[in-house]
Chain A
Amino acid sequence: MILALVLLPALAGALAFALASNRARRVLMVASAAGHAGMVVFAWLLSPAAIGGWLKLDALGLVTLTIASGLFLASSVYAAGYLEREGRGPRRDFEEGTLFADAPERVFTGCLLLFLAAMTLVTVSHHLGLLWVAVEATTLASAPLIYFHRHHRSLEATWKYLLICSVGIALALLGTFFLAVAGSNSGQEQLPLVLGDLIAAGPSLNRLWLRVAIIFLLVGYGTKMGLAPMHTWLPDAHSESPSLVSALLSGALLNCAFLGILRVVQVSAAASDRAFISGLLVVFGLISMTVAAAFILGQADFKRMLAYSSVEHMGILALGVGLGGAGSFGAMLHSVNHSLTKGCLFLVAGNVLHTYRTKSAREVHGLLRVLPVSGALWVAGFLAIAGSPPFGPFLSELVILRAALDTGRNWVAAVYVALLAIIFVGMSAIVMRMAQPAEAGVDLPAAAGGEAASAILPPLALGAAVLVLGLYVPPALSGLLHEAGLLLEAYQ
Chain B
Amino acid sequence: MTAAQIADDLLILVVLVDLFTLASSRLGTLIRTVALQGMVLGVLPLVAHPGELTVRTVMLATGSLALKGFVFPWLLFRATRDEAVRREARPYVGYSLSLLVGTVMIGGSFVLGARLPLPFPAVSSLLVPVALSTTMIGLFLIVSRRKAATQVLGYLVLENGIFVFGLTLAVKMPTLVEMGVLLDVFIGVFVMGIALHHIHRNFDSIDTSELTSLKDEP
Residues of A bordering B, CB below 8 Å: 127, 129-130, 132-133, 136-137, 139-140, 143-144, 147, 150-153, 155-160, 162-163, 166-167, 170, 173-174, 177, 180-181, 184-185, 189-191, 193, 206, 208-209, 212, 235-236, 239-240, 295, 298-300, 304
Least CB separation from B143: chain A residue: A167
Contact digits for B62-88, partner A, Cβ 8 Å, 1 yes 0 no:
000000000000000000000000000
B16 at the interface (CB under 8 A from A): no
- A195 CB to closest chain B CB, in angstroms? 14
- A148 CB to closest chain B CB, in angstroms? 13
B50 at the interface (CB under 8 A from A): no
State whether B188 touches A167 (Cβ < 8 A): no
State whether B173 touches A129 (Cβ < 8 A): yes
B159 at the interface (CB under 8 A from A): yes
B21 at the interface (CB under 8 A from A): no
- A93 CB to closest chain B CB, in angstroms? 12
State whether A159 touches B199 (Cβ < 8 A): yes
State whether A170 touches B173 (Cβ < 8 A): no
Residues of B bordering A, CB below 8 Å: 116, 118-120, 135, 139, 142, 148, 151, 155, 158-159, 162, 165-166, 168-169, 172-174, 176-177, 180-181, 183-184, 187-188, 191-192, 195, 198-199, 202-203, 208, 211-214, 216-218
Which single member of B116, B169, B183, B208 contacts A177 (CB below 8 Å)?
B169
- What residues on A are CB-neighbors of B188 within 8 Å? 136, 139-140, 162, 166
- A96 CB to closest chain B CB, in angstroms? 9
Q: A181-B118, A184-B120 are in contact. Are A133 and B184 (CB under 8 A)?
A: yes
Q: A136-B184, A152-B203, A166-B188 are in contact. Are A159 and B195 (CB under 8 A)?
A: yes
- What residues on A are CB-neighbors of B165 within 8 Å? 174, 177
- What residues on B are CB-neighbors of A174 within 8 Å? 135, 162, 165
State whether A190 touches B174 (Cβ < 8 A): yes
Alpha-carbon distance between A166 and B120 when the two chains are bound, in angstroms? 30
- What residues on B are CB-neighbors of A132 within 8 Å? 180-181
- What residues on B are CB-neighbors of A170 within 8 Å? 155, 158-159, 162
Q: A127-B177, A173-B162 are in contact. Are A167 and B195 (CB under 8 A)?
A: no
Alpha-carbon distance between A158 and B198 when the two chains are bound, in angstroms? 11
Least CB separation from A174: chain B residue: B162
Alpha-carbon distance between A482 and B184 when the two chains are bound, in angstroms? 35
State whether B172 touches A180 (Cβ < 8 A): yes
State whether B162 touches A155 (Cβ < 8 A): no
Which single member of B139, B166, B191 contacts A162 (CB below 8 Å)?
B191
State whether B202 touches A152 (Cβ < 8 A): yes
State whether A133 touches B199 (Cβ < 8 A): no
State whether B119 touches A184 (Cβ < 8 A): yes
Alpha-carbon distance between A127 and B181 when the two chains are bound, in angstroms? 13
- A260 CB to closest chain B CB, in angstroms? 15
State whether B214 touches A240 (Cβ < 8 A): yes
State whether B180 touches A130 (Cβ < 8 A): yes
Alpha-carbon distance between A166 and B158 when the two chains are bound, in angstroms? 10
- What residues on A are CB-neighbors of B176 within 8 Å? 130
- What residues on A are CB-neighbors of B192 within 8 Å? 162-163, 166
Alpha-carbon distance between A185 and B202 when the two chains are bound, in angstroms? 53
Alpha-carbon distance between A435 and B191 when the two chains are bound, in angstroms? 41
Assuming A162-B188, A163-B151, A206-B119, what are 11 further A-B pairs, CB within 8 angstroms? A127-B174, A129-B173, A130-B180, A144-B191, A153-B213, A156-B211, A163-B155, A170-B162, A174-B162, A181-B119, A300-B217
Least CB separation from B152: chain A residue: A163
Which single member of B135, B172, B191, B213 contacts A152 (CB below 8 Å)?
B213
Least CB separation from A294: chain B residue: B216
State whether A167 touches B216 (Cβ < 8 A): no
State whether A140 touches B195 (Cβ < 8 A): no
**A-B residue pairs, 7 tightest by C-beta:** A129-B177, A133-B180, A191-B172, A156-B211, A136-B184, A236-B214, A152-B202
Q: A163-B151, A180-B169 are in contact. Are A153 and B119 (CB under 8 A)?
A: no
State whether A193 touches B214 (Cβ < 8 A): no
State whether B172 touches A166 (Cβ < 8 A): no
State whether B169 touches A155 (Cβ < 8 A): no
Least CB separation from A180: chain B residue: B169
Alpha-carbon distance between A193 and B73 when the two chains are bound, in angstroms? 32
State whether A167 touches B142 (Cβ < 8 A): yes
State whether A167 touches B158 (Cβ < 8 A): yes
Point out which of A158, A162, A189 has the most chain B C-beta atoms below 10 A from its C-beta: A162
- What residues on B are CB-neighbors of A139 within 8 Å? 188
- What residues on B are CB-neighbors of A167 within 8 Å? 139, 142, 155, 158
Least CB separation from A300: chain B residue: B217
Alpha-carbon distance between A206 and B18 when the two chains are bound, in angstroms? 31
State whether B198 touches A239 (Cβ < 8 A): no
- B32 CB to closest chain A CB, in angstroms? 22
- What residues on A are CB-neighbors of B184 within 8 Å? 133, 136-137, 140
State whether A158 touches B162 (Cβ < 8 A): no
State whether B195 touches A162 (Cβ < 8 A): yes
Alpha-carbon distance between A185 and B184 when the two chains are bound, in angstroms? 29
Q: A166-B188, A173-B181 are in contact. Are A157 and B214 (CB under 8 A)?
A: yes
Alpha-carbon distance between A299 and B188 when the two chains are bound, in angstroms? 33
- What residues on A are CB-neighbors of B151 within 8 Å? 163
- What residues on B are CB-neighbors of A189 within 8 Å? 172
- B11 CB to closest chain A CB, in angstroms? 17
Which single member of A133, A160, A163 contacts B181 (CB below 8 Å)?
A133
- B196 CB to closest chain A CB, in angstroms? 9
State whether A159 touches B120 (Cβ < 8 A): no
State whether A130 touches B159 (Cβ < 8 A): no
- A172 CB to closest chain B CB, in angstroms? 10
Alpha-carbon distance between A300 and B215 when the two chains are bound, in angstroms? 11
Alpha-carbon distance between A445 and B67 when the two chains are bound, in angstroms? 54
Least CB separation from A182: chain B residue: B119
- B135 CB to closest chain A CB, in angstroms? 7
Alpha-carbon distance between A212 and B218 when the two chains are bound, in angstroms? 38
Least CB separation from A185: chain B residue: B119
Least CB separation from A173: chain B residue: B162
